[in-house]
Structure 1
Amino acid sequence: MPIYMDRHDVSAEVTAENVAELHRQDLKVQHKFNCRGLTYWFDDVRKTAFCLIEAPNAEKLKEMHDHAHGEVPHRIIEVEPAIVESFLGRIEDPEKAKDIRLNIINDPAFRIIMAIESTMLSFKECDKQSLQQHTENYKIQVIETIRQFGGRVVNNKERRFLISFTSVTKAVDCALELSSKFSKIPEKTAGLKIGLSAGVPVTDKNTLFEDTVKLAESMCYLNAEISISEEVSDLYRSENLHHTTFNNRIYILSEADQQFLNRLMEFTDKAWTDTNLNVNGFERNLALSKSKLYRKMMDLTGVSPNNFLMRYRLKRSRLQLHKKNSNIAEVAYNGGFNSASYFSKCFGKVYGLSPSAYKDLLV
């Protein structure tokens, strides 16, 4: 049967004891609806509760809640248990709570999400063996550091990582440690871009932590080694009252710039394969004049709109080359390039070798 996670936005008066009792009521009647309550999370600060339930469909889940206590969820999404566990650390009630009549679980589902991308810009000097060895060493160092600070690896592929943290302090300190560890290595070999955002698993989107993950990954396009959202900055300061400054080691993305970045990435994600897309398209969709768009892009990303689009296309196209049966001409056209030769020219300028030579390194 499918597994669902639902979200309940509760009133200020609701306590952890109340939520635990609602969970107990669900378990008493779940068999009548062919459901199985796996576990729950409750955030007393943000007044949100999340239930993980195996059910025939979302309607049966609602019926169970309604029959048990009348608290129907505000949002339900279907989830994969392995993804839930990677983000949240469990998919069932903790062992220590199972034998207690009122199963109070002190665990909010709010998480700090870290995106890490390697800024390895040139593959020119690599051969297959050295690239594989370098990539393996890079992954080992990153994973060791993440575990040292209590992070959970959600995803790890093509030199990119997605990490979940319960502690904002450990997440920020981990980013600083990673930055220090890799700062001594030449950028063309193994620099990093790190983005940190925070949020809850179920919003109005269809996948877990979708908004939070997208923001963290988008921040890797900013002109900073470490970027954090304003919310993460505020949470860090609240946990570290004597903290004064990051000494320019961390860029704090303001709420206004976050909104711009979200719009920029949303539009680019949808339109990057269009061969007719140019700066005018960005101006229209972001409702900015050419000069204002240029200044904004330079301030945030360090590159012009044209260069941003080119690098975005090359990055996405490069990842397509990792697929076994990828055809270079198809990758070029699907990536918004008018010709395979122009794609190869641009690819070589940025990465130091042709797309075909890059594919040979991956085989």
Structure 2
Amino acid sequence: MPTYMDIHNLPGGVSAEDVANAHYKDLAVQGKYGVSYLKYWINEKAGKVFCLCEAPDAETAERVHREAHGLVAEKVILVDPEVAELFLGEGGVNAAGAVVLPGGSAEDRDPGIRTILFTDIVGSTVMTQRMGDEAAMKLLELHDSIVRGALKDLGGREVKHLGDGIMASFLSAASAVKCAALVQREIAKHGKANADHPIRLRVGIAAGEPVERHNDLFGVTVQLAARLCGHAAAEQILVSNVVAELCAGKILSFQDLGEVTLKGFERPVRAHAVNWTSDSLPA
């Protein structure tokens, strides 16, 4: 059966108790329509709830909400459950059906915000032409090993391998930035020891919610992270303004680059460069 995720936007804020009651009402009605509401993510402060369900179609899923409590979703998108797990994690739930943070208590509810990171080897095609397929492949494997090691150390999840880069998801924006800095440092170490075969890497990072304007899971956030990565220079890490704000007070150093123009975005986007060589940046 297809899997769907929706977003409920309640600007006045929302309480965990009210959402739990609404979820219980969904469970009482869903069997009538062949729907199964699985779990939900709640951001009480922002007044947003994201529900994950299995249903014959989006309209039937909404019919359950409408009959159960009248809180119809603002948007419903079709999702691949395996991809959703890569972005969001398996997500344990509390007794009320709310996803909770890993290692947290039943009250530590997961708001659903994720930070997306892209890496890209600069000039990979030219590198292959200059060095040959075998040597270039060894450098790609080194990149993959360094990135995956950093993901493991800092709680990131690999979402997709992109040929000459990796897309990953993080629960914490600060962890994503630290991961990128660690990767750049390890790549730089390799470059110093192998001046004839350096890897030049760029990284883009953005944060956002699972259901936004696009019909793809984390669509806007993924697009922004990818565009920031493409805009970055070699050896640079660019992050969105949201990421920089989420990292406030985390002893991370950024340079505000002001607004930049990115393909696919109608308005200029404010970007920040990570000072990843700074002595104050945590390892």
Instruction: Tell whether the structures are fold-level matches, with TM greater than 0.5.
Output: yes
Q: Which bracket does the TM-score occupy, shorter chain normalised?
A: 0.7 to 0.9
Equivalent position SS for 1:190: coil
Partner amino acid, structure 1, of 2:170:
F
1:1-363 matches, cutoff 5 A: 1-90=1-90, 94=92, 97=94, 100=95, 102-105=96-99, 106-119=109-122, 120=124, 121-186=126-191, 189-224=198-233, 225-237=236-248, 239-240=249-250, 243=251, 246=253, 250-254=254-258, 256-257=259-260, 260-261=261-262, 265-266=263-264
Q: TM-score, normalization: structure 2? A: 0.81
Partner amino acid, structure 2, of 1:56:
P
Displacement, 1:13? 4.3
Gaps of at least 5 residues in structure 2 are 100-108, 273-283
User: How many residues in Structure 1 have an aligned counterpart in Structure 2?
Assistant: 252
| More off after superposition, 128-137 vs 159-168 | 128-137
Q: Structure 1 residues 103, 82: closer, same or farther in 2, change over 3 A?
A: closer
Show CA shifts across 1:318-350 (max 9, x none): xxxxxxxxxxxxxxxxxxxxxxxxxxxxxxxxx
Displacement, 1:125? 3.9
CA distance in 1, matches of 2:29, 2:203: 46
Equivalent position SS for 1:77: strand
Q: Which has the higher strand share?
A: 2
Q: CA RMSD in A?
A: 2.4
Q: Which has the higher helix share?
A: 1
Equivalent position SS for 2:214: coil
CA distance in 2, matches of 1:234, 1:13: 21
Displacement, 1:130? 2.5
Gaps of at least 5 residues in structure 1 are 268-284, 287-295, 301-363
Identity percentage of aligned residues: 32
Q: Do 1:30 and 1:37's aligned partners in 2 also have CA atoms closer than 8 Å?
A: yes
| More off after superposition, 78-87 vs 219-228 | 219-228
Displacement, 1:235? 1.3
Q: Structure 1 residues 174, 161: closer, same or farther in 2, change over 3 A?
A: same
Show CA shifts across 1:170-210 (max 9, x none): 11111111111112344963121111111101112110111
Partner amino acid, structure 2, of 1:229:
S
Q: Structure 1 residues 253, 26: closer, same or farther in 2, change over 3 A?
A: farther
CA distance in 2, matches of 1:134, 1:165: 25
